């Protein structure tokens, strides 16, 4: 009788483990649409810089810049290029920047379905 009681306890423990594991796990399916790849084009003439890209309707774009390269570069938002909204898919968006002729500057484009928090 002792052995059958021990077996019953093991089976009960195994069943409890299966029930707990099964009840605590859920499969959540979430479809995420990747943002379209966008190319930022930069053209410079002296101190005038023209940044452009092809927009997508409803997408928000912000241009960031840094004056130094490397892992410690501090990226800042370009003041006139924060939360620029794409109004029509396939239409170019153009932003200007001005800086001293000899100063290097590096840019990157951030895009999202929602505007950046201020």
How confident is the model over 56-97, as pLDDT tens digits?
A: 999 999 999 999 988 889 999 999 999 999 999 999 999 999
pLDDT of residue 28: 58
Contact 113, 60 (CB under 8 A): yes
Grouping H, G, I as helix, E, B as strand and the rest as coil, residue 116 is coil
Q: What is the pTM of this model?
A: 0.67
Cβ(81)–Cβ(94) under 8 Å? no
For 62, half-sphere exposure in the C-beta direction (CA atoms, 13 angstrom radius) is: 17
Token look-up 């939360």 returns: 83
59/40 Cα distance (integer angstroms) = 15
Mean pLDDT score across all residues of the chain? 81
């Amino acid at each position: 009788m002792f052995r059958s009681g021990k077996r019953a306890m093991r089976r009960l423990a195994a069943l409890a483990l299966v029930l707990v594991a099964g009840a605590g796990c859920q499969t959540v399916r979430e479809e995420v649409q990747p943002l379209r790849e966008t190319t930022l084009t930069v053209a410079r003439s002296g101190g005038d810089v023209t940044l452009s890209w092809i927009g997508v309707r409803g997408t928000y774009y912000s241009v960031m810049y840094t004056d130094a390269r490397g892992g410690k570069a501090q990226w800042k938002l370009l003041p006139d290029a924060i939360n620029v909204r794409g109004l029509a898919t396939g239409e170019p968006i153009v932003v200007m920047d001005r800086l001293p002729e000899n100063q290097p500057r590096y840019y990157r484009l951030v895009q999202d379905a929602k505007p950046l928090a201020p």
